[in-house]
Chains A and B, each alone.
Chain A
């Protein structure tokens, strides 16, 4: 049956972006933008309900020829891996736009809404694209609006941050483009048909050398986005200088694009190399976890602290992914959602306090608990979710990840636990300095507590944190079939790897040679 749900989901924000530009006054701009971010949210929830939890493949598929000469098709699909990320995207986008309408964005609101909605199209398109070319297009499309968001509405050294952000990610992604082209070229040589469609590319036979280079091309692009240590340096700048809504989307969704890319593309396309690279990636992930936590601990700036905590949390996600077993990967996807919720919420809270005090220096605060209890309570709750308190969502994800990692490399878990402890440490320490004790600064005496709008923005996030902490089953059940299908590819690769190498190479080479002729 023909459906247009995914097309609608992807392009309604773009339509909204264009309509927003026609709005004349400020309040109608915000209303229109909010409406156009709520429609995709409604669609994504509808899809969530309609989603068939037993189907491992793509659902709601749409496929049309786009550039038939290159075998490029307009191919959208939703599966258990992308489903919840799509919902997360639409949710965070709505909340950020609604929040931003409450005074966080002081100037040029029309352009702000325009870029936010274009960004939403880019994010959703990248999550839904099954065709590699389409994926690349959306992958790049989402850079540009984010760049403007940081550069125009950011704080402090915003232009430098925006530049750094775009150059880092562009360098990564353009190498991925070369890898995509080369992969398609090989597929074309071997099968005679040209196609950028992901399922068609699974069967490409690669020599080990080729596979290594191609995997590197993909992995670097995704690792920059994650970001993995040591190419994370754009992240603290971008996060700190971005406007609140930008930080929320950047941390909540955009970083997931990197990890999602690993799960969706890099690993299934090159399972052998992914297997071999596991120790390397797990090591980098662990370094990221510890490094992020240690650096976060010494940050004087609340937002920078949250930014570095992202480096640490994304390390967990990478750890789970490269465990390459169901527990690890499902945990990783779960943790992506958790991180989106809790870090998104943390950035929103930091934004709220910044709006009141125009500073984020931890030393500027102290004793806020007395003045703004609702804020402090919500902050506490979100923070506990972020550090993985049992009963809240963070715990489930971290637990599954460590279970998966333990099955793979037990040593990694030791360091990861250290990371969790450090995480609790820096968060609680920061919380203590901000919220407890006497009020030391006079300005803090007159702080206003959260407005209804702000509370309204936080409520859905908190509800989800609770729900996901207590009842993860429905979410995991929907991920399971797709994750299993993905890991199936890895398993067969493992079998292939364990066979004696010369035979495998001999089987590859003559076939390649005849194909090239």
Chain B
């Protein structure tokens, strides 16, 4: 039974952290409500138009494409840092990785994800 103590401690600690954070927030945060504070924040200007305004779907597409390359960078930077030791093997791996991403890009391009109109 004693061996289960660490598990219990872990769970307890996790719960404790959450509880502390919520409590501190409640205790410390200043609360002065006013109509202005309830408004959505728009750079200090009074909001104009509806909050339900639509954005073009292209924004999302571009965002997703951006994400792909974001991830690419995350992988390629450590690779670059160790490029000497990884040598030809690493190069091959990186090229395959990029090739896969290129397939995705070509596909998105061909399907018109990059055309704004």
A and B touch in the complex (CB under 8 A): no
Binding site for B on A (CB under 8 A): none
